[in-house]
Amino acid sequence: MNPPEDAYTFVRERESSARTYANAVPRVLERGRLTRIHDTDGNSYLDCLTVAGTLALGHNHPVVTARVREYLDSGQMQQALDFTTPAKHAFLRTLYRHLPPGFAATAKVQFCGPSGADAAEAAVKLFKSATGRRTVLTFHGAYHGMTAGALSLTGNLRAKERVASLMPDVHFLPYPYAYRCPFGLGEPQGSTVGLHYIERVLTDPESGITRPAAVIVEAVQGEGGVVPAPVEWLRGLRAITAALDVPLVVDEIQSGVGRTGTMFAFEAAGIEPDAILMSKAVGGGFPLSLVLYHERYDGWLPGSHAGTFRGNQLGMVAGAATLDVIEAEGLVASAATKGALLGDLLKDLAHRHPEIGEVRGRGLMWGLEIVDPQGRPDALGSLPADGARTTALKRRCLDNGLLTESGGRHGAVLRLLPPLTITEEEITELADRLEKSFD
C-alpha cells in the first residue's frame, strides 16, 4: 500500500515560483468559519489575513452561504457577461445604498474582470479616453495590481525590475508616511510640503509632467505597509485636483467595505472622489471587481472594456448578502470600536518590544513596522526596517495559531486584517498570541 500523498509538497513542486503566501504557510488549509481556519493536521488559526482582506465577514458566514446555496438551487445564471439579471439588479440596488449619497447620485458603474487589477486597468483607460490626456500620477508605496498597466502604477520595484516596457507616462509622487517621511520632516510638516510639491508639479510649465488623465491614490496604503494618509492631506489632494480639473481615483480595493471603520477609507476625510475602485470584499468572497465613477466621465464606446467573467452572479449574490449583514449588524461602526481596542493592545505591545518601530492603522487594518532596535536611527529617529526579523516573526505567529502577512518597505511590516466579525474576546486572544510570538 502506498503511503498517503503529501499534498503540500505535490502542489509546491508543480506550482510556479511566483507563488507567495503558500511559501510562508507550509500547511494544507482545509476549513474555516468566521475568524478561525483549520488545516488538515487539525491545527486551528485565528485568521488575520482573510485572503488579503477579501473576507469581510470571515469564512463561510451563514447568511452569505445560505444566499449562495439558495441562488445555486434556483437555476438562475451563474455567469452572464453584462446582461441584466435579477442578481445584478439586487446587487446594484444594495451597493448604491451604501455609497456616499452625493457620489451615488451621479455614479456610473463598470463591471470589470474578476480581479482588482482589472479595475485599475479600466480606470486608466476610462480617464485617458474621457480627458484625452496620457499621463497618470500615482504614489510611492502604492499597490494597484500586477497586470501590466496596474503594475506600472505600483511602487514596489522588485515586481517591476524584470518586466520590460510597462505603461509609459506614469509618474510617482511622495505619499505621507510619518515614520519614514520622504522629506525627512515628519508630520504634519511632511504632508504640507508634499501637497505644495504636488501642486507645483501640476502647475509648473517646466515640471516635465503633462496634465494627467488621473491621480490614483489609496486612502490607506495596504500592501505598501498599512500607511493611512492624514485626513488633512487627503482634503488638500482633493482640493488641488478639483481646482485643476484632474480626476481623482481612490483605490478602495483593500480598504473599502467597512474595513477602516467607515464604509470607504476616504470618507474619514469628508471628500468625494471622481472614481472608486472596488474588489475583494465587495464580492463577498467570490471574484468581483468594478469601477464607480462620475457620469460626466462616461465616455466609453460599447465594448471599450470587457471581460468574460465580469458578470459573476455568485459574486453579486454574495456581495449583496455581505453588505446586508454589515448593515444589519452595524459592522462598520463596530470595526471602528474594535479597531480602537486592537490598536491600544498593539501599542501596549510596542512599549514592551523595541523591535516594533511603529504601530499604525485604522479600523481593522493594522500594521506593525518591525525594525532593528540596534540599528542606526535616521534624522527622524526611525530605526532601519528589518524584513528578516519580520519573516521570522510571521513564522512564529503561524506556530502560535495566528495567520498574518507582511508587506511594506523591505517586507518589514507585519499586517493584520481580521474579519469585521471578530469579537473583542478574539481580539484579546489575537494580542496574546502575537505577544507570545515576540518572546
Q: Is the pLDDT of residue 374 over 50?
A: yes
Cis? peptide before 247, omega within 30° of 0:
no
Does 84 have pLDDT greater than 50?
yes
What digits encode the pLDDT tens for the residues 229-277?
999 999 999 999 999 999 999 999 999 999 999 999 999 999 999 999 9
CB neighbour list of residue 17: distance below 8 Å, 6 or more residues apart: none
pLDDT tens for 295-336 read: 999 989 999 999 999 989 999 999 999 999 999 999 999 999
Chain segment 200-215, per-residue pLDDT in tens: 999 999 999 999 999 9
Contact between 408 and 224 under an 8 Å Cβ cutoff? The reply is yes
- What pLDDT shows up at residue 2? 53
Contacts of 154 (CB under 8 A, 6+ apart): 138, 142, 143, 144, 145, 146, 160
Q: In what order do the strands lie in the sheet with 170-173?
A: 107-111, 290-294, 275-278, 248-251, 212-217, 135-139, 170-173
Cα end-to-end span (Å), the chain: 44
pLDDT band at 1 (very low <50, low <70, confident <90, very high): very low
| Residue in this structure with the C-alpha cell 494597484, named with its chain if needed | 144
Burial label for 206, CB within 10 Å (0-12, 13-18, 19+), is exposed
Overall average pLDDT of the 51-60 stretch: 97
- Distance CA(113)–CA(379), nearest Å, equals 45
Phi, psi of 361 (to 5 degrees): 165, -175
Which of 143, 96, 125 shows the shortest CA–CA distance to 247? 125
pLDDT of residue 371 exceeding 70? yes
pLDDT at 439: 74
* Amino acid, res. 132: G
Element (H, E) at 339: helix 331-352
- The answer to whether 398 touches 437, Cβ cutoff 8 Å, is no
Reported as a single tens digit per residue, the pLDDT across 119-148 is 999 999 999 999 999 999 999 999 999 999
- Residues 349-372 have a mean pLDDT of 97
Phi, psi of 173 (to 5 degrees): -110, 155
Say how many C-beta atoms besides its own lie within 10 A of residue 82's C-beta.
14
What per-residue confidence (pLDDT) applies to 165? 87
Helices 313-328 & 86-98, crossing angle to 10 degrees? Answer: 40
What CA–CA distance (Å, rounded) separates 433 from 427? 10
List, for residues 2-25, the tens digit of each pLDDT value. 556 799 999 999 999 999 999 999
| Contact criterion met (CB below 8 Å) for 136 and 213 | yes
What share of the chain in percent tops pLDDT 90?
96
Whole-model pTM? 0.96
3 state SS of 309: helix
pLDDT tier at 413 (50, 70, 90 boundaries)? very high
Tell me the three cell numbers of residue 218. 489609496
DSSP 230: P
Q: What's the rounded mean pLDDT across residues 18-35?
A: 94
Q: Reply yes or no on whether the pLDDT at 62 is more than 70.
A: yes
